Structure 1
Amino acid sequence: MSATVHPLGRPSAPGLEPIIALTASGMNAVNAVILERMQSKVAMIPELAGHLIAGGGKRMRPMLTLASAALLDYPGARHHKLAAAVEFIHTATLLHDDVVDGSATRRGKRAANLIWGNSASVLVGDFLFSRAFELMVEDGSLKVLKILSHASAVIAEGEVDQLTAQRRVETSEDHYLAIINAKTAELFAAACRIAPVVAEAGEAAEDSLETFGRNLGIAFQLVDDALDYASDSATMGKGRGDDFRDGKMTLPVILAVARGSAEDRAFWAAAMAGERASDDDLALATRLIHSSGALDDTMERARLYARRAIDALAPFPAGRAKAAMTEAAEFAVARRY
C-alpha cells in the first residue's frame, strides 16, 4: 500500500503532534498563567473567559512563541507570560468577533455572546486585552510591548476593514489579502517575533521568524476560508456556510465571482447582499466555487504561503524545533478543520 502524499510532499499526513510535544512543558506554564490571570472577583469574568479558553482551540499562537524560543535554544522563562498575553489578545478578538458576526457557535460550542449576551462578551474581551497588556508591562521590554501593542492595533484595523468589505461583491483579491494579513497573520507574526527579542537573537532572527509567522497566518486563514465551503460544522467547530450567510468576501467567493457568467455574478451579488441565504443557495454557492476552480486555487495559494513560511526557517539549524515548526506549516494546509 503506497503512502499518502499530502500537499507539500511529506510521505504521510502532517499533524500538530510534534509542536505540541515540543512545547508541552512550556504550555503547562503558559496555561497556569492564563488560569491565574483570567481570575476576577467578578464571577462572570472567569466563567465567560473560561468557556472560550477551555473550548478546545489549537493554541497555535502561544505554541509558536514557545517553538520559536526552542528554535533559538532560549533557556529562560520570560516567553511564558508573553505567550499567555498572545493567547489573551487572540481570545479577546474572538469574543469581539462573535458579537460582530452574531455567531451561534465557536469551537463547536454555543458562542459566549448567546449565553451571556453581547455586552458581557465585549466587556470580558476588554478585560482580557487589559490582562495581556499587564503581562507585557511586567516583562519590562519596550520592544516586546511595541510589537504586541502594534499587533493589537493592526488586528482591530483588519477587523474594521473586513466590516467595510462585507457584502461588497466588488472586493478585490488584494483587498482581501490585506484584511487577512491584518486580522489573522499579524498576531502569528508577532507571536513568533517576540521570542528572538527575549532571546536577544538579533534582528535577522526576528525578521525570519516574523516572516515565518506571517506567511503561516495567511495560509491558515486561506484554508479556514476554503473550509467554509468544503467542510461542515462537526469538523470546523463553526456552522458551515457562516461566511456565506454573513456576506464575507473571502477568496473562494472573489475568484468564483471573477470567473462566473453574468447569471453567476447576479447570484453572488444577491447572495452577498443577504437576499440568497437558504441552504439551497449555499449549495449553489458551493457548486459554483468548486466548478470554477476557486476552491482548488485558494488551497494552492495557501500552499504557496506555507512554503514561504517554511523557507523562512532556512537560516536556522536542523533539529526538533525546526522540524516541528515545518510540520505545523504543512498541517495548516493539509488540515480539514
Structure 2
Amino acid sequence: MSATLHRLDAGPAPSLDPMLRLVAHDMNAVNSVILGRMQSDVPLIPELAGHLIAGGGKRMRPMLTLACAKLLDYPGTRHHKLAAAVEFIHTATLLHDDVVDGSDLRRGRRTANIIWGNPASVLVGDFLFSRSFELMVEDGSLRVLRILSNASAVIAEGEVNQLTAQRQVETSEERYLSIIHAKTAALFAAACRIAAVVAERPEAEELALDAYGRNLGIAFQLVDDAIDYSSDEATMGKGVGDDFRDGKVTLPVILAYARGSTADRAFWRDAMMGHKSSDADLVHATQLLRTTGALDDTLAQARHYGQRATDALGGFPASAAKSALTEAVAFAVARAY
C-alpha cells in the first residue's frame, strides 16, 4: 500500500460519532418509521428488506437530513418521515444495483439477490421506492416532493449511464464525474436540502446545504473508487476488487489508462473486457494505479470536493451540528488512510 493511503498524522481519526450522538434521538424515530413502513402482508417483503436495512450500514444519508435540521434549529418532526424516505430510496437503489452488478456481498453479508433471487430483489426495491413516495406525499410539501423525486430520477439516469460506460476503458473523466454526480451525489444533496425546506429557510440556505451534500457525495464516491483497489473486505463491506472484476471504469482506471504505456493500455483494455480478472491481475492493476499516481490523484480530487463541502457550510454559525457535519466530511475522506 502506498504511503499516501496511510494516515500521516498521529491525531485521532475523524469519526461519525459526533453526528451519531447529535441525531441519536431523532434516529430512533426514523428507525421506527422505517420498521413500520417496510411491513407488508406479503412476508417476503419485510424479510428481504429487513436483511439489507439491518445489515449494518451507517445510515449516513438520513443522518445528514437530521443533522442539517439540527444545524437550522428546526424544532418539528417532519424530517423523521423524510429521512426514512431518503433511506428507502437508497436501499431500493442498493437492491437494484446488486442485481445489475451480480454482487454476492454487501457490507460483508450475502446480498439479497443471492439469497432470494433477482426477481424478488428488484420487486422489493420497487416496493421501497413506492413507500418512499408515500412518505413524501404524506409530508404534503410539493417542494420536498420535487427535490426527492428529481433525485430519484437522476440516480436512475446515473446508473444507466454507468451501465453503458461499463467496460468502456476510454470513458472520459468528465463523463465519469457526471455519473457519480448522478448516482451518488444527487441523493446526498437532496437529503441535506430538504432540511432547509421543512425548516422554511431562505433559498440561499437550501442551496448551501445542497452544495454541502453534493460535494460530500462526490468525495465519498471517489474514496470508494480508490479503496476498491487498496483496502480489504472488512473496510469495503464488499469483495476487494469488485469494480475491477466487474469492468467498472472508475476514476483511478481512467487516469492510469491515460498515463500508461502501450502495454499498460493493452492490459487495461483486456482487464475491463473481463479477459484479465485473476488475483494476480488485480495486484498488477493496483501496481499500475500507484506507479501512475492514479490513486493519489483520485484521493486528491476527493479532498478537493471535501473542502468544497466544508466551505459550503461557511455561512452557518458555529454549533455542534456544524462541527459534526464538518467532521463527517473529514471521515468520508479519511476512510482511505
- What is the DSSP-based 3-state SS (H/G/I as helix, E as strand, rest coil) of the residue aligned with 2:298? helix
The answer as to whether partners of 2:38 and 2:49 remain within 8 angstroms in 1 is yes
Letter in 2 for 1:125: G
8 Å Cα contact 2:226/2:336 also seen in 1: no
Helix, strand or coil at the partner of 2:200: coil
Structure 1 position 234, deviation (Å): 2.1
Give yes or no for the alignment of 1:72 onto 2:62.
Answer: no
- Structure 1 10/280 Cα, relative in aligned 2: closer, same or farther at 3 Å? closer
Q: Name structure 1 gaps, 5 residues minimum.
A: none
Q: Can you list the C-alpha shifts for 1:227-262, whole angstroms capped at 9, x where unaligned?
A: 000012122110001000110010010010011000
- What is residue 272 of structure 1 aligned with on the other side? 272
What one-letter code is carried by the residue in structure 1 that aligns with 2:213? G
The question of 1:26 aligning with 2:26 is answered yes
Q: Give, in angstroms, the shift of residue 291 of structure 1.
A: 1.1
Whether 2:252 is the aligned partner of 1:252: answer: yes
Q: CA deviation at 1:6?
A: 5.5
Partner residue, 1:200: 200
**CA-to-partner distance for each residue in 1:129-150, whole Å, 9 max, x for gaps?**
0000000000000000000000
CA distance in 1, matches of 2:277, 2:11: 41
Show the counterpart of 1:303: 303
Rounded to whole Å, the distance in 1 between the matches of 2:47 and 2:133 is: 21
CA contact (8 A) 1:235 1:336 kept: no
Q: Given residue 144 of structure 1, which amino acid in structure 2 is its aligned partner?
A: V
CA distance in 2, matches of 1:234, 1:317: 37
Give the letter aligned to residue 321 of structure 1.
A
Flag the 1:22–1:316 CA change in 2: closer, same or farther, 3 A: same
> Counterparts of 1:261 and 1:134 in 2: how far apart (Å)?
53
Structure-2 change in CA distance of 1:283 and 1:160 (3 Å): same
Is 1:96 aligned with 2:96?
yes
- Alignment correspondent of 1:153: 153
Could you say which residue in structure 1 is the equivalent of 2:3?
none
Tell me the distance in 2 between the aligned counterparts of 1:196 and 1:6.
Answer: 35
| Gaps in structure 2 of 5+ consecutive residues | 1-5
1:10 and 1:183 mapped to 2: Cα distance?
A: 35
Q: Could you tell which deviates more after superposition, 11-20 or 26-35?
A: 11-20
Q: CA deviation at 1:12?
A: 2.8
Q: TM-score of the superposition, structure 2-length normalised?
A: 0.97
Structure-2 residue corresponding to 1:172: 172
Query: What's the CA shift string for 1:97-116, capped at 9, x where partnerless?
Result: 00000001001000100000
The alignment of Structure 1 onto Structure 2 pairs a total of residues equal to 332
Q: Which residue of 2 aligns with 1:182?
A: 182
> RMSD of the alignment, in Å?
1.3
Equivalent residue for 1:17? 17
C-alpha deviation, 1:11, in angstroms: 4.3
Higher alpha-carbon deviation: 124-133 or 290-299: 290-299
For 2:162 and 2:227, locate their aligned partners in 1 and report how far apart those are by CA, in whole Å: 19
Which residue in 1 is equivalent to 2:214? 214
- 1:325 counterpart SS class: helix
Alignment deviations for residues 172-204 of structure 1 (CA, whole Å, 9 cap, x no partner) = 100000000000000000000000000001101
Alignment of 1:95-174 (within 5 A): 95-174=95-174
SS at match of 2:197: helix
Amino acid at match of 2:239: G
Q: Where in structure 2 are the equivalents of 1:282-301 lying within 5 Å?
A: 282-301=282-301
**Residues 1:224 and 2:224 aligned together:** yes
Deviations 1:31-70 (A, max 9, x none): 0000000000100000000000000001010000000000
Amino acid at match of 1:257: Y
What amino acid does structure 2 have at the position aligned with 1:17? D
Q: What TM-score results when the alignment is normalised by the length of structure 1?
A: 0.97
Match of 1:127, SS?
helix
Indicate whether 1:325 and 2:325 are aligned.
Answer: yes
Give the aligned residue type for 2:75. Answer: P
Deviation, structure 1 residue 10:
9.8
1:290 offset after TM fit, Å? 1.0
The residue identity in structure 2 corresponding to 1:305 is Y
Q: Tell me the distance in 2 between the aligned counterparts of 1:222 and 1:245.
A: 18
> What displacement does 1:13 show?
1.4
Percent identity over paired residues: 74
Contact 1:169 1:268 in 2 (8 A): yes
Q: In the alignment, residue 318 of structure 2 is paired with which amino acid?
A: A
Aligned partners of 2:246, 2:333: CA distance in 1, in Å? Answer: 24
Q: Look up the equivalent residue of 1:324 and give its one-letter code.
A: A
Is 1:93–1:125's contact at 8 Å kept on the other side of the alignment?
A: yes
Displacement of 1:271 after TM fit?
A: 0.4
| Contact 1:222 1:298 (8 Å CA) reproduced | yes
Distance, in Å, in 1 between the alignment partners of 2:259 and 2:250 is 15
Separation in 2, partners of 1:34, 1:333: 28
Residue deviations 1:314-334 (CA, integer Å, cap 9, x gap): 000001000000000000000
Question: Secondary structure at 1:23's aligned position in 2?
Answer: helix
